């Protein structure tokens, strides 16, 4: 299907964000199609993670529009924004588990606090327990319900963070450097889980990473963030064939960095 025929789930136009004198996003434009997994690549400091924070509402942009499902988020009322954010979820780079809660309570946190965004009636404790078990089973963490985050390896923490994300079945999923700090085998397992989750939930996903192998594994299209703007966005087969020296330099540097580890 041609790009113009695909339904755009997230549309970003003219997005600007700075921190003091440091301008990070510089009029960024981006379209993300419904049901796809878009991978955003780029060197450190170009605003990949900052972009996710703007979409998720963790931070507010200075200028620009962020449309999710046709709704311009910055222009909505607080209540209207909350309704949109309830159907979004993010896997943070450090997993962001609550240290004082075991795996079961971490996974159940959203449902305990907000209920099921797709139901008008409250969700029961029995339903929550069942949903938590299903989510942990899906990420191969069955039987770890009573473990504390301090008892988990880095890969297990990523899995627990993913379980907490998928337990309420969001329509939009954001992944911030999901394989950072993991050994190659564990990183491959996380990539497989991201693909499995996408297949199960049919969500629209954005994955921010500097990991070329991860991009190839999980992405439908790849985008390059270069100096606060999207320089290219292409199907992954075409991305690596593009002769733009900026793309080729990034690929070469990423491969050199990976091989030196």
pTM above 0.85, yes or no: yes
Instruction: Please say whether the beta carbons of 48 and 230 come within 8 A.
Output: no
Q: How far apart are CA 212 and CA 250, in angstroms?
A: 10
Q: Which of 53, 41, 48, 55 is closest to 11 using CA atoms?
A: 55
* pLDDT tens-digit readout, 236-246: 889 988 888 88
Q: Which of 93, 29, 102 is closest to 58 using CA atoms?
A: 93
Instruction: Please say whether the beta carbons of 7 and 207 come within 8 A.
Output: no
In the predicted model, what is the mean pLDDT of the chain?
Answer: 89
* pLDDT tens-digit readout, 68-126: 999 999 889 988 988 898 889 999 888 889 999 999 999 999 899 888 777 767 789 99
Instruction: Please say whether the beta carbons of 194 and 129 come within 8 A.
Output: no
* pLDDT tens-digit readout, 114-123: 887 777 677 8
Model confidence at 259: pLDDT above 50: no
The residue behind tokens 């993670």 is 49
The helix (H) or strand (E) run that includes residue 31 is strand 22-33
| Homologous superfamily (CATH) for 1-76+174-179+204-261 | P-loop containing nucleotide triphosphate hydrolases (3.40.50.300)
Phi and psi angles of residue 220, each rounded to the nearest 5 degrees, phi first: -90, -45
Look at residue 261 in the predicted model and tell me its pLDDT.
36
The helix (H) or strand (E) run that includes residue 102 is none
* pLDDT tens-digit readout, 6-28: 899 999 999 999 999 999 999 99
């Amino acid at each position: 299907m041609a790009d113009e025929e695909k339904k755009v789930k997230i549309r970003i136009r003219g997005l600007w964000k700075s921190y003091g004198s440091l301008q990070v996003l510089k009029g960024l434009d981006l379209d993300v199609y419904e049901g796809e997994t878009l991978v955003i690549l780029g060197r450190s400091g170009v605003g990949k993670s900052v972009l996710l924070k703007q979409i998720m509402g963790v931070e507010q942009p200075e200028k620009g529009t962020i449309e999710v499902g046709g709704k311009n988020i910055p222009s909505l009322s607080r209540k209207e924004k909350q309704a949109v954010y309830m159907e979004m979820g993010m896997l943070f780079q450090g997993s962001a588990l609550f240290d004082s809660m075991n795996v079961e309570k971490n996974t159940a946190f959203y449902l305990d606090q907000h209920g099921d965004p797709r139901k008008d009636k409250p969700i029961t404790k029995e339903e929550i327990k069942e949903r938590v078990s299903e989510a942990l089973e899906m990420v191969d963490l069955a039987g770890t319900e009573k473990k504390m985050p301090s008892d988990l390896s880095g890969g297990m923490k990523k899995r627990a963070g993913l379980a907490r994300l998928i337990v309420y079945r969001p329509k939009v999923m954001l992944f911030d450097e999901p394989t950072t700090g993991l050994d190659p085998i564990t990183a491959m397992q996380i990539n497989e889980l991201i693909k499995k989750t996408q297949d199960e939930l049919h969500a629209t996903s954005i994955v921010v990473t500097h990991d070329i192998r991860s991009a190839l594994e999980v992405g439908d299209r790849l985008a390059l963030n270069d100096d606060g703007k999207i320089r290219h966005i292409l199907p992954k087969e075409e991305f690596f064939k593009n002769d733009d020296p900026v793309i080729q330099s990034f690929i070469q540097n990423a491969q050199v960095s990976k091989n030196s580890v």
